[in-house]
Amino acid sequence: MPQTHQYPMITVDNQVDYLQVAVFEVDRLDHQPSTPEFDAWVDQQCQLAITEKSTPQWEARREAVRALLRKGGYKPSGRSKPAQEYLVRCLDESKFPRVHPAVDCLNVVSARAGVPISMLDRDAFKERLAIRLGKPNERYIFNSVGQELELENLIVVCGGENEEKPLGSPVKDSMAGKIDKTVSKIVCILYAPKESMAQELLEPWAQMLHESIRRFATLDR
């Protein structure tokens, strides 16, 4: 995996210079059902996440991620909480989502790391990924029933023809960017506050996610 801070195809707007990201691509995505080996791995990771989320370190990251979103003027509350908080609540309720092996890898790493992560169709972008704050009146559909997420002041990752179309965020990703069974190449973006999570602390989680997707969710497994 390339060093994610040297990822050549991403630009981060100066408005969000307080944001730390780790970014990588994975090709040859497989869409076969999970295996018993993978199910056991997910169960193990969920148990680790249950233990870790009770630690002061995890709670500090939760607060830091919320503060990260507030810096741009966004209010991370209610249905607009950072994505990993939803995953941890699912752990508490014994309803951890099982969606697709690649997405499941993301979910367990996000819950353990305490940071939100986007997983998007690489072909939904052109040459570059651009990260900025959402503009007034920007929104996108984030689920199959057509619900919309208001994006004003939210950190968004954009692509499309002019690198201006919001496709993902630390709260919820858009339906336009999410993977389906036609997708063979994905890009993952881990979001963290620069002031409290240096690149060397974020990189191991990116490496873990990259390796787990390769191991359990690609044609190379």
pLDDT in tens, 120-141: 999 999 888 999 999 999 999 9
Domain count along the chain:
1
Q: Which residues pair with 187 in a beta bridge?
A: 25, 120
Residue 149 located in a structural domain: yes
Q: Which residues pair with 120 in a beta bridge?
A: 187
Helix H or strand E segment including 167: strand 165-168
Helix H or strand E segment including 48: helix 36-52
| pLDDT over 80 (residue 4) | no
Q: Return the pLDDT at 2.
A: 39
Burial group, residue 10, by CB count within 10 angstroms (0-12, 13-18, 19+): middle
Model confidence pLDDT, tens digit, residues 79-117: 899 999 999 999 988 889 999 999 999 999 999 999 999
Residue 210 located in a structural domain: yes
Q: Taking residues 166-180, report their average pLDDT.
A: 96
Residue 129 located in a structural domain: yes
Please give the Cα distance from 33 to 88 (Å, whole number): 24
| pLDDT over 90 (residue 41) | yes
Question: Which residue has better confidence, 3 or 41?
Answer: 41
> Quick one: pLDDT band at residue 78, thresholds 50, 70, 90?
confident
Residue 171 located in a structural domain: yes
> Quick one: pLDDT band at residue 40, thresholds 50, 70, 90?
very high
Residue 30 located in a structural domain: yes
Residue 221 located in a structural domain: no
Q: Return the pLDDT at 221.
A: 77
Please give the Cα distance from 198 to 192 (Å, whole number): 9
**Inter-residue contact 11 to 175 (CB < 8 Å):** no
**Among the listed residues 129, 99, 142, 143, the one whose alpha carbon sits nearest the alpha carbon of residue 191:** 129
CATH value at residue 133: 3.50.40.10
Q: Quick one: what percent of the chain has pLDDT higher than 70?
A: 96
For 157-179, the three-class secondary structure string (H helix, E strand, C coil) is EEECCCCCEEEECCCCCCCCCCC
Residue 88 located in a structural domain: yes
Which residue range is the domain that position 55 belongs to? 4-216
